[in-house]
């Protein structure tokens, strides 16, 4: 399985492509960061992010896209920019019919380090170890994108199977007597 991990951000959007499967060594395919200038208008910045994501999707043809789930922070402007970049990432994947998974920061930290409260340095060190890299990916947005891809390979397939089983077990609304249609 090949996964594009995306750590969304308006200033720096981390993009990491990892290939592998559960129980086998994972391989770094590509890692990069799309940077935008705060001097540009937000729509122009979003177009730059879209172009960067589209280029990686076209070049590396992942099987899935894993994006960091947005969570509330104290700075509303940071949340908005991050959410806008995440939305662009979802649109880019959806255009290609790729499955999109959202993983929380604590889920990613727990998956790669065993500790849902790990700091950025611990996550970066574990990504370096898991992918057998000579140096830690920099900036942290790049390491976070790789951690998202790793998490999805290790956990995403299982979660997709659980979701499919739950959906299959749930009776269709149209079959429920007197149920909503």
- Tens-digit pLDDT string for the chain (181 aa): 999 999 999 999 999 999 999 989 999 999 999 999 999 999 999 999 999 999 999 999 999 999 999 876 667 778 999 999 999 999 999 999 999 999 999 999 999 999 999 999 999 999 999 999 999 999 999 999 999 999 999 997 666 666 666 777 877 654 455 555 4
How many CB atoms sit inside 10 A of residue 53's CB? 24
- Where does 2-175 sit in CATH, by number? 3.30.420.10
pLDDT digits (tens, 9 = 90+) for 131-157: 999 999 999 999 999 999 999 999 976
pTM attached to this predicted model: 0.86
User: What are the φ and ψ backbone dihedral angles of 113, each rounded to 5 degrees?
Assistant: -120, -15
Domain residue ranges of the chain, discontinuous segments joined by +: 2-175
Which segments of the chain does DSSP mark as H helices, in order?
Answer: 42-60, 76-95, 105-113, 120-130, 140-151, 157-169
Which residue among the candidates 50, 68, 134, 144 is catalytic per the annotation? 68
The verdict on whether 7 is a catalytic residue reads yes
Q: How many CA atoms lie within 13 A of 115 on its CB side?
A: 9
| Beta-strand relationship, 100-103 and 64-68 | parallel
Residue 39 annotated in active site: no
Q: Please indicate if the annotation marks 7 as binding a ligand.
A: yes
Of 50, 58, 119, 141, the catalytic one is 141
Residue 134 is assigned to a ligand binding site: no
- Residue 144 assigned ligand-binding role: no
Active site residue 68: yes
């Amino acid at each position: 399985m090949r996964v594009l991990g995306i750590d969304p951000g308006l200033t720096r959007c981390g993009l990491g492509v990892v290939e592998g499967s559960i129980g086998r060594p994972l391989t770094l395919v590509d890692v990069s960061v799309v940077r935008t200038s705060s001097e540009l208008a937000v729509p122009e910045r979003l177009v730059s992010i879209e172009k960067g994501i589209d280029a990686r999707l076209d070049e590396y043809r992942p099987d899935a896209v894993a994006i960091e789930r947005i969570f509330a922070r104290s700075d509303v402007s940071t949340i908005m920019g991050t959410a806008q970049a995440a939305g662009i990432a979802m649109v880019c994947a959806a255009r290609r019919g790729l499955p999109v998974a959202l993983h929380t920061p604590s889920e990613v930290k727990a998956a790669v380090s065993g500790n849902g409260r790990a700091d950025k340095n611990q996550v970066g060190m574990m990504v370096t170890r898991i992918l057998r890299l000579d140096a830690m990916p920099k900036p942290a947005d790049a390491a976070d994108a790789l951690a998202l891809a790793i998490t999805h390979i290790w956990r995403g397939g299982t979660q997709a199977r659980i979701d499919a089983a739950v959906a299959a077990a749930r009776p269709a609304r149209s079959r429920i007597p007197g149920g909503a249609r």
